[in-house]
Chains A and B, each alone.
Chain A
Amino acid sequence: MRHSEEVLTLAFVISRRDNVATLLEEAKEGSAIRLLGDIESLTNLITRQDISAAHKVAIAEIEPGEPVIKYGHRIGHATRKIFIGEWVHLHNCASDVDERSNTLDIHTGAPDDSRTAYE
């Protein structure tokens, strides 16, 4: 892992109840994150993989089935354990209402489910 002590990547926390932050810029694996918004910055938040701008990073551990919280509210649930510094997206978080959301490609968002046939 690469540690960049000088250049901190910015991420924004909307509510102090949130367990995810939104990256304001792209972060490479091993980037140190500085949190802005409704939070005291965590000193040891290091990204565990590359994460694109506007995507979410976990700022607390989330157990499988536990709510993912942003805006102070539940935006879905963890489908597996999520560690601090991990990218939170379609591969580890699912909607409570939209059953299609975890069938989408995690990079492009394109639907990959068999219910829509191209024949």
Chain B
Amino acid sequence: MIPALLMSEVSWSGFLRPDGRLGIRNLVLVIYTVECAQFVAHEIARSEDDVHVIGFPGCYDNAYAIRLMMALARHPNVGAVLAVGLGCEYTQPDRIAESVRLSGRLADSFFIQHAGGTRESIQKGKQLVRAMKAQSDQQTPRKRMSLADLVVGCECGGSDGTSGLAGNPVVGRFFDRLVDAGGTAVFEETVEQIGLRDILLERGVDAKASAELAAAYDKAEQYCQSVRQWSASPGNFAGGLTTIEEKSLGAFAKSGTKPIQGVIKVGQCPAHAGLWLLDSVPDPHFMQFGYTNPNDSEGIMDLISAGCQIVLFVTGRGSVIGSPVAPLIKITGNARTFQHMKDDMDFDASGVLTGMQNLDGSADSLMQLVCGVAGGQLSKPEVLGHREYFVPYKHQDTPGLRAGCRA
């Protein structure tokens, strides 16, 4: 094993994007602009290497959803984009392609109705993604990158009693190391920080950051109060959690101990290195867009939209999902889950519970795995082909994407 002190010197070959960011994959992203184009988009990507799919199901457009998809389209792991629409929806594929081209990437678009239907569209789409993939592989400059160039996100879901005791604390220790190495860490789920207002605010790096944390916390608490839902389910209580505060502390353990630089919203990138909180709770809007985190895939999309090249997913019970655009690394603190679902789980953090390993040792092993995946090793969900995504209708008050993302 490489000693932790030397980990910051570990490097691998990344993909240099025109905005200066570095990717760890060189993908083509197929984006559909309405549910009606979903089948064709997935058929285009089927059996093609490094071609992923995302899309928005709504016919009526939504600023939040478009912002999220544009952030994924101009993600450092993406080299080219094909936008596919049916031909009668509000969201416009050619405008997605135009914005992506302005970022210095390859992009194309078409409507299925113009192309002549399903078969013609699949054929046309496959030709376009193959041509763009070949060109992108040939012309994307390579550059050495290290932990300092990584943005890593963390989400937890399918949690059990081990997530707060082992999985999340190991990620927290890894995040501390990543920040020490000059890298960037992003965590989320402000609705799972309920009861921790004082602890959260103490972690702000300065008064501005603490004010941002206070605003995000107060919005989340107000939100939970108004829907009478505290992000804890009957299963959580049956599993041994007694209060939302207890669940919050277990979830918050993944943030480690470093100062929090500030709060970003969906589609925004951290302004500089360090630890950041992502706020995905809807801002007030006359539509009211329902529950803030409908499923784990939605939260993972949010983290990837912040420019995370890799996302860690802590799952005690054992979730099988993966993600497009950025590899998902699955961590469990439950030894039984790791054994029982070996093909799905990347990392076993249970050693810290039994005393087989301490937090530092486990965090070092996780860091090695992250560097391996960054260097091209496939994570378990990548091997299996899991690429779940979720782009909902929502509303958030945010400045333009350019202000946050350098793209």
Contact = CB atoms under 8 A, between A and B. Distances in A.
A101 interface: yes
Given A12-B353, A97-B195, A22 B242 contact: no
A110 B237 CA distance: 8
Interface in B133-176: 160-162, 164-165
Contacts of A49: none
Interface in B227-255: 228, 230, 232-240, 242-246, 249-250, 253
A2 interface: no
Nearest to B233: A109
Interface of B: 160-162, 164-165, 194-196, 199, 221, 228, 230, 232-240, 242-246, 249-250, 253, 353-355
Interface in A1-48: 10, 12, 14, 22-24, 36
Contacts of A24: 353-354
- Closest 5 A/B residue pairs (Cβ): A54-B161, A109-B237, A109-B234, A95-B243, A54-B240
Nearest to B199: A73
Interface string A88-101: 11100111111011
Nearest to A71: B249
A68 B241 CA distance: 13
7 contacts: A24-B354, A73-B199, A74-B195, A93-B243, A97-B194, A97-B195, A97-B244
Contacts of B353: 12, 24, 36
Contacts of A97: 194-195, 221, 230, 244-245
Given A22-B240, A54-B240, A100-B228, A36 B355 contact: yes
Contact of B234 (A52, A54, A96, A111): A111
A75 B245 contact: yes
Contacts of B234: 104, 108-111
B244 A98 contact: yes
Given A52-B240, A70-B246, A109-B236, 8 more contacts: A22-B165, A23-B240, A53-B240, A75-B243, A88-B242, A97-B195, A108-B237, A109-B235
Contacts of A88: 242
B249 A75 contact: yes
Contacts of B239: 54
A90 B355 CA distance: 29
Contacts of A104: 234, 237
A101 B237 CA distance: 9
A56 to B, nearest CB: 7
